[in-house]
Amino acid sequence: MQQKTDKTNPSEKILITAFECLSTRGYANVSMRNIAEEAGVALSQLTYYYKNKEKLFIEVINMMTLQYLHEIEGNLESVTGEKEKLASLVRFFKELIRDKPKLLKLFIDFIAQALWIPSFREQLDSLFTELTEIIERNLLTYTKINKRYLGYSPQTVAKLVLGALLGTSIQIILGSDRDSAFESLNLAESLLN
C-alpha cells in the first residue's frame, strides 16, 4: 500500500495505517491504541469509524481483497492460451512473495484468524470462492486441461490450483531460503500444465 498525503480523510488514513501495522506486526500484536497513535488520531475517532479491532481488520481485509482479486484477474486476462495463463498466475504469486510480502503476510494472518473468528471465516470463504471462480473462468476453459482432469469439475481443479499456489507461497514466505524455494512454484506450474 502506498502512503497517502495529509489530504487523506481520517477513515482512509486509519485504514492505511491499520494495513501497515497489521501487515508488519500481525493481528495479535497490534491494538486499536497502536493504530490510533500511528495514524495520529484519537482512539475515540478510530472507534467512531471502526467499532472494534475485528471490524477494522475486516475493512483492511476488504481493501486487500479488492486489490488482490483485481490484480489476479488483470494478470490472467492480459494473456491468452492455457500455458501463458498458468505462467501468469504463477508469476503473480512469485511477485507477491518478492514484491508484496506484507500483503501475503496479512493474508496468511487472516487465514489463521479465520479459524477462530466466524466473521473472518465467512469473508475468507467468500474470497476463496471468488478466486476459484476467477481461475476457473480464465484458466479452465481450455480443452487440454479439461481432458487431463477428466472426471473432476473445473471448480475442483481450480481449487487444487489455488491450494497448490497459495500453500507453496506460504511455505516460501515462512522459509529461510526463498531463492531456491521459488523452484516449488515452478514445479507446481509444470505439474499443472
> Are 44 and 85 in the same domain?
no
> Are 82 and 149 in the same domain?
yes
pTM (predicted TM-score)? 0.79
Tens digit of pLDDT for each residue in 28-51? 999 999 999 999 999 999 999 999
Tens digit of pLDDT for each residue in 166-185? 988 888 888 876 666 778 88
Q: With cut-offs at 50, 70 and 90, classify the pLDDT of residue 2.
A: very low
Contacts from 125-133 at CB under 8 Å and sequence distance 24+? 127/65, 127/68, 127/69, 128/159, 128/162, 130/65, 130/69, 131/69, 131/72, 131/162, 132/158, 132/159, 132/162, 133/158
- pLDDT given at position 4: 46
Give the number of other CB atoms < 10 A from CB of residue 113.
19
- Residue 4 belongs to a domain: yes
Output the domain CATH number for residue 182.
Answer: 1.10.357
Give the number of other CB atoms < 10 A from CB of residue 84.
12
Tens digit of pLDDT for each residue in 81-105? 877 888 888 888 888 888 988 888 8
Domain count within the chain: 2
> Are 85 and 161 in the same domain?
yes
CA angle 106, 57, 70 (to 5 degrees): 60
> Are 39 and 69 in the same domain?
no
Q: Is the pLDDT of residue 3 over 80?
A: no
Domain assignment of residue 110, given as a range = 61-192
Tens digit of pLDDT for each residue in 122-155? 989 999 999 999 988 887 665 455 566 667 888 8
